[in-house]
Amino acid sequence: MNIAVINTGGTISCAGSPLTPMSAADFASACETLINPVLLQNYPTLSVHYVVDLPFPESSTLTLDSTNLQPTDWCRIAGYILQNYDTYDGWVVLHGTDSMDFSGGALPFLLNAFDGQGNQIAALSKPVVITGSQMPMFYRPDSNLPPTALIYNTDAFQNFCGAVAAAQSGIPEVCVYFQNHIYRGNRVLKTNASQFNAFSSPNYPALGEYGVELTITPANLLPGPVSASVSLDNPSTRALAQAQLSFIAANINSYPVMQFNAFPAWYSFPASGGAPGYPSDTSPRAGLLASLIGACVAPAIGVKGLILESYGEGNFPSGDPDTPSNGATYQALLAANNAGVVIVDCTQVISGVVNNNAYAAGAWLPQVGALSPADMTPMAALAKLMVLLTTAAYQGWSGDVVKSLFQLNLLGEKMSTSRLDSRGDYTLLVNQCISTPDGSASFCNDPVSGPILQTSTGQHLWTAVPNLSTTDLPGVLTMQNDGNLVFYSRNNAPLWASNTGIYGGAPSRCELSGSTSTQSVNLSLFNYVADTTSAILFSQP
């Protein structure tokens, strides 16, 4: 087993007092002397290559504290992996903790590629494991000499060993290994600055845990390439991914995305507003948040995407509590949306799902074009949007395609809200639904009617089984791996099927797309391997 270790920098590869970064070459030499003998105790056939020819030119040591990592550095890491994909069976990326959750969000979208419908055209097939530490790895009493030992009570050694083990697991995705847990890279958050358990995955379970042995939970993993033709092991597919990545690396700085926190800030309101007896500002509507948003999206800065870190379930100050559309913040966001800026309504709360319709204080956000990320972290949202915006320039996608792709669960970064996938989220239990991205229509497993497609106002568009016996309910709707969508009774008897099954298997998805506002609702089945639509269950007009 051949594993490559990429050292970007960070605490794990610092040494001395005060702590200073080691060069990649010095760190590699210390690992070969002090760490490799330990690794070989457990993995006698393991070959570890420490990468020393991947410089990060912003720093004189050619390694970086992750505080100073920028989007082009994500591309450097991904580019090295693609360039050497045939040589290694897995990668360990050593990284500072400060922006590890951003890199964990970005690398999956740089190492995989999609078409405009969200179908994978290049898929990662090997593990990429990011790790770091809260304490340095090595003790070096003299900065002019090599390290002499491991630091006492360091988490660096345990995290490094765990990452090496995870890199041999065959998990076909970008992971973060920290404090005995393997997490999906685009699901993590740094939640502790002073303890060894620095990272959490609040909205998705861990992929595995290292106790006495490494234990992986297969049900939590991404399925990997659907076929050899889209795997990065395929030279032509890898060339496609490399060409796209080269464009992204050269152009990503032209598509900046910014996180923007909600915070208590002044805003003006007219003399007619406010409670009787309280003075009101008679000047034109204005506010600090509105001014900041306007400055960010102005040509001088040119932000192309805004990740709002709202309060609670997605509430953001509009600038007018009674009539949000009159508020300065509303108007600033509407102007940004009209100018082509993509707006996403995330939350600054660590855990949970955005539901901006829960309160009037957030229900106005879709009116200014704000997209819902469901349970995606703001870090993953920023990285995903930045990569999609840059990819759109390469692929010739419209802004609507970018928005559509952003709202899809492409690589496990968010809960699936519009798809049933035979390789992952494949069932609808009673009262569960998938919906169009804008929520205007939903396909639900109704406790009385079974699988039913309806609008948000309750209008029925399509029913799979017109007449169901109550003795058959509740049932389960399942997108099977043979390509057949089947509704089973509570006694596991098939009551309805799409009759799209293929002998030998046909990994497929059921997808609800479009919008009732444009009368374009479409409920269809897609065969991944054949790359074709296998059935259209309902379509407007």
| Residue count (the chain) | 541
Burial 259-275 (b: 16+ CB within 10 A, else e): bbebeeeebbbeeeeee
Mean predicted lDDT score pLDDT of the chain:
94
Helix (H, G, I), strand (E, B) or coil at 268: coil
For residue 456, the one-letter residue type is S
CA 71 – CA 92 distance, rounded (Å): 19
Res 523 pLDDT > 90: yes
What pLDDT, in 10s, does the model give residues 463-489? 998 888 878 889 999 999 999 999 999
- Contact predicate 249/79, CB 8 Å: yes
What pLDDT, in 10s, does the model give residues 157-174? 999 999 999 999 999 999
For residue 437, the one-letter residue type is P
- Contact predicate 425/200, CB 8 Å: no
pLDDT above 70 as % of the chain: 97
Res 362 pLDDT > 70: yes
Using only C-alpha atoms, the chain has a radius of gyration, in whole angstroms, of: 25
Average pLDDT over residues 238-249: 98
Average pLDDT over residues 506-516: 94
Fold of 2-252: Rossmann fold (3.40.50)
CA 436 – CA 455 distance, rounded (Å): 10
pTM of the model: 0.94
CATH 3.40.50.1170 intervals, the chain: 2-252
Report the pLDDT value the prediction gives residue 96, as an integer from 0 to 100. 95
- Contact predicate 384/307, CB 8 Å: no
Report the pLDDT value the prediction gives residue 378, as an integer from 0 to 100. 98
Report the pLDDT value the prediction gives residue 269, as an integer from 0 to 100. 77
What pLDDT, in 10s, does the model give residues 99-123? 999 999 999 999 999 999 999 999 9
CA 450 – CA 497 distance, rounded (Å): 12
What pLDDT, in 10s, does the model give residues 314-338? 999 999 999 999 999 999 999 999 9
The class of domain 255-372 in CATH terms is: alpha beta
- Contact predicate 309/355, CB 8 Å: no
Average pLDDT over residues 72-80: 98
Res 134 pLDDT > 70: yes
CATH 3.40.50.40 intervals, the chain: 255-372
Report the pLDDT value the prediction gives residue 281, as an integer from 0 to 100. 55
Residue 110 contacts by C-beta under 8 Å, 6 or more apart in sequence? 74, 75, 78, 245, 248, 387
Max CA pair span of the chain: 82
CATH 2.90.10.10 intervals, the chain: 419-539
Instruction: Identify the residue with better confidence: 233 or 20.
Output: 233
- Contact predicate 182/192, CB 8 Å: no
Report the pLDDT value the prediction gives residue 268, as an integer from 0 to 100. 87
Res 142 pLDDT > 90: no
Tally of CA atoms within 13 A in the half-sphere of 161 that contains its CB: 23
How does residue 145 score in pLDDT terms, banded at 50, 70 and 90?
A: confident
For the domain spanning 419-539, the CATH number is 2.90.10.10
What pLDDT, in 10s, does the model give residues 247-284? 999 999 999 999 999 999 999 876 555 555 555 555 56
Res 386 pLDDT > 60: yes
Res 289 pLDDT > 80: yes
Angle CA(476)–CA(477)–CA(482) in degrees, nearest 5?
125
Instruction: Residue 341: name the closest of 375, 299, 383, 310 by CA.
Output: 299
Report the pLDDT value the prediction gives residue 279, as an integer from 0 to 100. 53
Strand partners, 496: 487
CA 101 – CA 300 distance, rounded (Å): 28
CA 114 – CA 329 distance, rounded (Å): 34
Report the pLDDT value the prediction gives residue 285, as an integer from 0 to 100. 82
Report the pLDDT value the prediction gives residue 392, as an integer from 0 to 100. 98
Report the pLDDT value the prediction gives residue 277, as an integer from 0 to 100. 53
Res 462 pLDDT > 80: yes
Average pLDDT over residues 387-409: 97
Report the pLDDT value the prediction gives residue 17, as an integer from 0 to 100. 81
Distances (CA, A) of 272 to 90, 326, 353, 468: 65, 13, 37, 57
Tokens standing for residue 66: 């992750």
- Contact predicate 406/384, CB 8 Å: yes
How does residue 42 score in pLDDT terms, banded at 50, 70 and 90?
A: very high
Find how far residue 523's CA is from the centre of its chain.
Answer: 25
- Contact predicate 188/108, CB 8 Å: no
